[in-house]
C-alpha cells in the first residue's frame, strides 16, 4: 500500500531546487509527544506546518510592493494550539469535516453515533478529532507529508482509516493532496481549516476583501447549521459571488440564511465536474494587492467569514483575533452528506481510495 500511495500522491521531481524544507521541534504535547514544525520555503512563499493537527501554522507571501507578510491566523507556540479547542486554525479536521446532524448516520443498515460537540450536532469529527492528533511527518521533495492512523471506532466512526496529507510548494502555488484508505466501510471528508487575512495577520477584519466563488448554487441551512437538503440558486441573494463582492457588502442585510449562519458559514456547490481540478474561488485584498485563487477536485467549498472569532485569542501582532478577522474557504463534500442520499457520497469502502486535491495560488494586483 505504501508504494501505491506514493504513486497516487505523485512523486515530485527534486529538480525544483529553490524549494527548501527544514524541520525542528515545536514543543511538547500534554501526552509527552514532541510536535514537529516544518518550514517549506521558496522565493515567493514561506509556509510553516506542524504535526499537531497536520496544520498550517503560518504562510507568508508578498504584497503588491514586494513586502512579505503573514496571511493566515495562528500561534507561534504549540501550547496555544492545544488550549484552543474552538477555531481549528490551519488544521485538517476529521474524520468528517463539517457537521453531521444529531451526531448520527446509518451505513449499510447500521447506525453510528458520534460525539455531540456542536449541539445538537457533531462537528469536524468530534471532541477528539484529527486536529487534536499528533500526525507523523516526513520531508518530501518540495514539501511535507503527514500520516495518521485512526482506529476502528475512533469517535464512533467505523473502520481503521489511514490518512495521508501532503503539502507541496512549487513557485507561488501550495498544493494539498489528501489520501485515505479503510479496512471497513466508513465515511470520510477532509479539508484544511486555514483562516486567511490577505491584508495581513492581525490587520483587522476581512470585510473589505473582494470574493468570487465559482458556484451558482449553495446549500441553505437550518438554525443549527445543518443543510435543509435542496441546492438553492445564489442568484438574487447575498450568496451570489459569481462576480466579485466584498465580504462585508451584504453580510449585515436582513436575511434568514445569514441569520442562521451568524454571517457566511455555508457550503457552495462548485461549478464543473467533481473529481477534476477546477476553479472554486478567488479573493482579492484592495489594501495589499494580494490575491488568493483556490482550485479543488471537491464538489463544494465552505465559505466561513470568521463569525465566532470573539477577541479572546491573541494574534501574532500582539492584539486579538476579533470578529471576522479571518475567512475560510474549506474545500469539501457537503455537510451532513452521510444523511443525504442525494448529495455526492462520502462513503469509502475497503479496497477503494479517497483522494482529494486543493491548490492555493498567490499573486498580486497593482
| Catalytic residue chosen out of the listed positions 145, 209, 295, 330 | 330
Question: Quick one: pLDDT at residue 18?
Answer: 84
Q: Cell numbers at residue 364, please?
A: 498580486
- Other CB atoms within a 10 A radius of the CB of residue 96 amount to 31
- Average confidence (pLDDT) per 10 residues, the chain, 366 residues: 46 57 97 97 96 98 96 97 97 98 98 98 98 98 98 98 98 97 98 98 95 98 97 98 98 98 98 98 98 98 97 91 97 98 98 98 94
Cα–Cα dist 121/225, whole Å: 9
Tell me, yes or no, if 330 is annotated catalytic: yes
Question: Quick one: pLDDT at residue 337?
Answer: 98
Query: Which residue spans within 96-209 are E strands per DSSP?
Result: 99-100, 104-107, 110-113, 122-123, 136-140, 143-150, 161-170, 173-182, 186-187
Helical (H) or strand (E) element with 216: strand 215-219
Question: Quick one: pLDDT at residue 13?
Answer: 39
- Other CB atoms within a 10 A radius of the CB of residue 190 amount to 29
- For strands 173-182 and 354-364, give the pairing: antiparallel
Q: Which residues contact 302 (CB under 8 A, 6 or more apart)?
A: 98, 191, 265, 266, 267, 268, 328, 329, 330, 332, 335
- How far is the first Cα of the chain from the last one, in angstroms, to the nearest whole number? 47
For 291-320, give the DSSP string. EEEEEESSSEEEEE--TT--S-SB-TTSSB
| Catalytic residue chosen out of the listed positions 23, 124, 164, 193 | 193
**pLDDT tens per residue, range 84-99:** 999 999 999 999 999 9
Enter the DSSP assignment of 101.
G
Question: Quick one: pLDDT at residue 1?
Answer: 46
Q: Which residues contact 341 (CB under 8 A, 6 or more apart)?
A: none
Question: Quick one: pLDDT at residue 318?
Answer: 87
| Burial track 314-350 (b if 16+ CB lie within 10 A, e otherwise) | ebbeeeebbebbbbbbbbbbbbbbbbbeebeebebee
2-364: CATH topology is Beta-galactosidase; Chain A, domain 5 (2.70.98)
Q: Cell numbers at residue 108, please?
A: 449499510
**pLDDT tens per residue, range 246-270:** 999 999 999 999 999 999 999 999 9
Q: What are the phi and psi torsion angles at 70 (to 5°)?
A: -75, 140
Instruction: Count CA atoms closer than 13 A to 81's CA, side-chain side.
Output: 31
Cα–Cα dist 271/349, whole Å: 27
Cα–Cα dist 203/326, whole Å: 10
Question: Quick one: pLDDT at residue 349?
Answer: 98
Burial zone of 102 (CB within 10 Å; 0-12 exposed, 13-18 middle, 19+ buried): middle
Question: Quick one: pLDDT at residue 72?
Answer: 98
Cα–Cα dist 222/228, whole Å: 6
Residues present in the chain in total:
366
Amino acid at each position: 500500500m505504501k508504494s501505491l500511495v506514493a504513486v497516487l500522491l505523485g512523486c515530485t521531481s527534486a529538480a525544483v531546487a529553490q524549494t527548501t524544507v527544514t524541520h525542528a521541534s515545536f514543543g511538547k504535547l500534554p501526552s509527552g509527544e514532541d510536535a514537529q514544525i516544518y518550514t517549506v520555503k521558496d522565493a515567493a512563499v514561506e509556509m510553516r506546518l506542524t504535526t499537531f493537527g497536520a496544520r498550517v501554522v503560518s504562510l507568508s507571501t508578498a504584497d503588491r510592493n514586494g513586502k512579505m507578510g503573514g496571511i493566515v491566523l495562528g500561534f507561534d507556540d504549540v501550547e496555544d494550539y492545544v488550549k484552543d479547542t474552538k477555531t481549528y486554525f490551519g488544521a485538517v479536521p476529521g474524520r468528517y469535516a463539517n457537521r453531521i446532524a444529531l451526531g448520527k448516520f446509518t451505513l449499510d443498515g447500521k447506525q453510528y453515533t458520534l460525539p455531540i460537540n456542536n449541539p445538537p450536532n457533531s462537528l469536524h469529527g468530534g471532541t477528539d478529532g484529527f486536529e487534536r492528533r499528533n500526525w507523523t511527518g516526513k520531508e518530501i521533495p518540495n514539501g511535507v507529508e503527514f500520516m495518521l492512523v485512526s482506529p476502528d471506532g475512533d469517535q464512533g466512526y467505523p473502520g481503521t482509516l489511514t490518512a495521508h496529507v501532503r503539502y507541496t510548494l512549487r513557485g507561488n502555488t501550495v498544493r494539498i493532496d489528501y489520501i485515505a484508505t479503510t479496512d471497513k466501510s466508513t465515511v470520510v471528508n477532509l479539508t484544511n481549516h486555514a483562516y486567511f487575512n490577505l491584508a495581513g495577520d492581525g490587520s483587522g477584519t476581512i470585510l473589505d476583501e473582494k470574493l468570487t466563488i465559482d458556484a451558482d448554487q449553495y446549500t441553505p441551512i437550518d438554525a443549527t447549521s445543518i443543510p435543509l437538503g435542496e441546492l438553492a440558486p445564489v442568484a438574487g441573494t447575498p450568496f451570489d459571488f459569481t462576480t466579485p463582492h466584498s465580504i462585508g457588502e451584504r453580510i449585515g442585510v436582513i436575511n434568514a440564511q445569514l441569520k442562521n449562519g451568524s454571517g457566511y458559514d455555508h457550503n457552495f456547490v462548485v461549478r464543473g465536474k467533481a473529481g477534476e481540478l477546477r476553479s472554486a474561488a478567488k479573493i482579492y485584498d484592495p489594501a495589499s494587492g494580494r490575491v488568493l485563487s483556490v482550485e479543488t477536485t471537491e464538489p463544494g467549498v465552505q465559505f466561513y467569514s470568521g463569525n465566532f472569532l470573539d477577541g479572546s485569542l491573541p494574534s501574532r501582532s500582539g492584539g486579538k483575533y476579533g470578529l471576522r478577522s479571518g475567512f475560510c474557504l474549506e474545500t469539501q463534500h457537503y455537510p451532513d452528506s452521510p444523511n443525504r442520499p442525494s448529495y455526492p457520497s462520502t462513503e469509502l469502502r475497503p479496497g477503494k481510495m479517497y483522494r482529494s486535491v486543493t491548490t492555493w495560488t498567490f499573486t498580486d494586483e497593482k
